[in-house]
């Protein structure tokens, strides 16, 4: 039986985007060169007419996609996709037609890189609905940081959420366990950051390329002089900002191998959780269409183990409304 052509209808939120961008969203495996060949030979058509990569789409138009672009996946690929989808669905803590929020586990890279076998961005294809583009990342978390990560289901939502992050219309609250007790108990750290190789550092020499970085923090609970459960609100969003700032005031985050957090707390190692003790606990951000998104993520397994040993409250209320 001959393979059939597939027709996709341009949705309202895809209006005015370029045809090549539409294909990138729906069929990321298709290369630019392959798409150009399909366009030159007329195998891709928009509302029955030939088109170019730069053609701007209109809501309601139909896009004819040749069968070789939508090849039926092999059985093992289907099985792998189903397994990935089930894994991701277990991480979802909020979703609607525009937005998905997941509780990213520590150790999962958000995007690909040298030596990484898997990353979240590649896995997101499994969450795409029939004929829909895969959800899009709108911000980042370090590989070793767990917690709330927001994804956009539509191009419109991606644009609006990106604007909210860019204009600092968000509040991101992180939880961490610090080695030692920060002083004062609550404060504001305004220390510019500069890149040094693969890490960041506080710039104390006034370099022109240093970036402003501001963090507000407060101690939630402390354990004698050993450690503290600290809540933090990064006013700015620089790379490794919270990790560098806490190390800068002499209380690095436990498990931070880059910024001095691998110190011993004098506690048997098997009693505490492993890895970086930094968690994106809560995110408050304007919804792309209405109201506000306010979502919180429970601690992961390793941090829960440490919280339990110290007797810290795992569902503590942290509020920076007066900051």
Average pLDDT over residues 228-238: 96
The third-level CATH classification (topology) of the domain covering 171-310 is Pseudouridine synthase (3.30.2350)
Looking at residue 28, what is its pLDDT? 75
Is there a shared CATH topology between the 6-65 domain and the 171-310 domain? no
The first and second tokens of residue 146, run together, are 């767990």
Residue 73: HSE in the Cβ half-sphere, 13 Å Cα cutoff: 10
The model's pTM is: 0.78
Domain boundaries, the chain: 6-65, 75-166, 171-310
pLDDT score of 200 more than 70: yes
Task: Give tens-digit pLDDT for 261-279.
Answer: 888 888 887 889 999 999 9
pLDDT score of 74 more than 50: no
Looking at residue 78, what is its pLDDT? 46
Q: How far is the C-alpha of 213 from the C-alpha of 210, rounded, in Å? A: 9
The first and second tokens of residue 286, run together, are 């304007």
**Cβ atoms of 251 and 181 closer than 8 Å:** yes
pLDDT score of 175 more than 60: yes
Question: For 274, which DSSP code?
Answer: -
Task: Give tens-digit pLDDT for 234-249.
Answer: 999 999 999 999 999 9
Q: Across-strand partners of 178?
A: 228, 253
Question: Which one has a higher pLDDT value, 269 or 228?
Answer: 228
Looking at residue 82, what is its pLDDT? 60
Looking at residue 197, what is its pLDDT? 87
Tell me how many helices (H) and strands (E) the chain has. Answer: 7, 16
Q: What are the start-end ranges of the H helices in the chain?
A: 19-26, 32-40, 75-89, 120-123, 155-166, 241-248, 301-310
pLDDT score of 81 more than 90: no
Q: How far is the C-alpha of 201 from the C-alpha of 245, rounded, in Å? A: 9
Task: Give tens-digit pLDDT for 153-166.
Answer: 988 999 999 999 99
Instruction: Tell the CATH superfamily of the 6-65 domain.
Output: RNA-binding S4 domain (3.10.290.10)
The third-level CATH classification (topology) of the domain covering 75-166 is Pseudouridine synthase (3.30.2350)
What is the set of active-site residues?
142
Q: What is the CA radius of gyration of the chain?
A: 23
Q: Across-strand partners of 175?
A: 231, 279
């Amino acid at each position: 039986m001959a393979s059939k052509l597939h027709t996709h209808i341009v949705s309202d939120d895809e209006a005015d985007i370029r045809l090549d961008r539409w294909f990138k969203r729906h069929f990321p495996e298709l290369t630019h060169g392959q798409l150009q060949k399909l366009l030159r030979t007329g195998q891709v058509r928009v509302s029955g007419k030939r088109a170019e990569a730069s053609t701007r789409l209109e809501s309601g138009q139909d896009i004819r996609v040749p069968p070789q672009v939508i090849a039926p996946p092999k059985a093992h690929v289907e099985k792998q996709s189903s397994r990935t989808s089930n894994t991701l669905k277990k991480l979802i803590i909020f979703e609607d037609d525009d937005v998905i929020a997941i509780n990213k586990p520590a150790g999962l890279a958000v995007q690909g890189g040298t030596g990484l076998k898997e990353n979240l961005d590649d896995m997101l294809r499994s969450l795409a609905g029939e004929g829909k583009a895969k959800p899009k990342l709108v911000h980042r978390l370090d590989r070793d940081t767990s917690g709330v990560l927001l994804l956009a289901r539509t191009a419109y939502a991606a644009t609006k959420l990106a604007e909210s992050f860019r204009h600092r219309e968000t509040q991101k609250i992180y939880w961490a366990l610090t080695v030692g007790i920060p002083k004062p108990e609550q404060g504001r750290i305004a220390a510019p950051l500069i890149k040094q190789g693969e890490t960041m550092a506080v710039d104390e020499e006034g370099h022109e390329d240093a970036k402003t970085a501001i963090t507000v923090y407060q101690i939630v609970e402390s354990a004698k002089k050993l450690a503290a459960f600290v809540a933090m609100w990064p006013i700015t969003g620089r790379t490794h900002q919270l990790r560098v700032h806490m190390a800068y005031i002499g209380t690095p985050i436990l498990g931070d191998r880059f910024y001095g957090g691998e110190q011993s707390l004098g506690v048997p190692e098997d009693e505490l959780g492993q890895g970086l003790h930094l968690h994106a606990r809560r995110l408050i951000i304007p919804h792309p269409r209405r109201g506000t998104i306010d979502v919180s993520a429970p601690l992961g397994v390793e941090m829960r183990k440490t919280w339990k040993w110290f007797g810290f409250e795992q569902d503590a209320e942290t509020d920076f409304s007066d900051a």
